[in-house]
Chain A
Amino acid sequence: EVQLVESGGGLVQPGRSLKLSCVASGFTFSNYGMNWIRQAPGKGLEWVAYISSGSSYIYYAETVKGRFTISRDNAKNTLYLQMTSLRSEDTALYYCARGTTEGIVFAYWGQGTLVTVSS
């Protein structure tokens, strides 16, 4: 069974940093592209970042480019999101999601970790 378990969320002040993790199990992590997607409270879905299976290709949404860094450790089956210069508009539930072979489609999702940016 595919499982994705996010952690690292919490309350953080504007301008500070936070690092999220996502531990994967139930599939060969190193074979799949991975993503972070967020959902602000009561709002819709926003894709944040993508990393290919071997980390060769990395893409970001314009709203986080230059502030967030996606990375992965295939030996540890773990996906990361380093977030810096956080803003109130970054407040959201952050999901990690596994891709498929048909482009950036999100076949499996974790339960999410909540990031709240507030003073």
Chain B
Amino acid sequence: DIVMTQSPSSLAVSAGETVTINCKSSQSLLSSGNQKNYLAWYQQKPGQSPKLLIYLASTRESGVPDRFIGSGSGTDFTLTISSVQAEDLADYYCQQHYSYPTFGAGTKLELK
């Protein structure tokens, strides 16, 4: 199985700040055939189901605000949230979709 390691496990922020969440995979998620990186990001608010934010490392799902930016390639990936808003406080998970899917342990974004 591909192991996904997320950091930090929690993050306290103030509204308006820019935050970065990291995700590292135990093997490359870059397909040599099409040069696509098979990495997705999800947001889960308390008491709700997860919501897909980004797939293929940097493709924003329809309706997701452009302050959510995915980047990275190979084994190292980042979710950047620009100008954090109160509604962004949630748990964030990365997931590889290169092979049988596996998730990172999650990052809890809290208010400072």
B101 at interface by CB-CB < 8 Å: yes
Q: Is the CB–CB distance between A45 and B97 below 8 Å?
A: no
A1 at interface by CB-CB < 8 Å: no
How many residues on B have C-beta within 8 angstroms of the other chain's C-beta atoms? Answer: 24
Q: Is the CB–CB distance between A47 and B101 below 8 Å?
A: yes
Partner of B61, one of A47, A50, A107: A107
Interface mask (B70-112 → A, CB under 8 Å = 1, otherwise 0): 0000000000000000000000010101101111111000000
Count A-B contacts at CB 8 Å. 54
Partner of B97, one of A46, A61, A95, A102: A102
> Residues of B with Cβ closer than 8 Å to A?
1, 38, 40, 42, 44, 49-52, 55-56, 59, 61, 93, 95, 97-98, 100-106
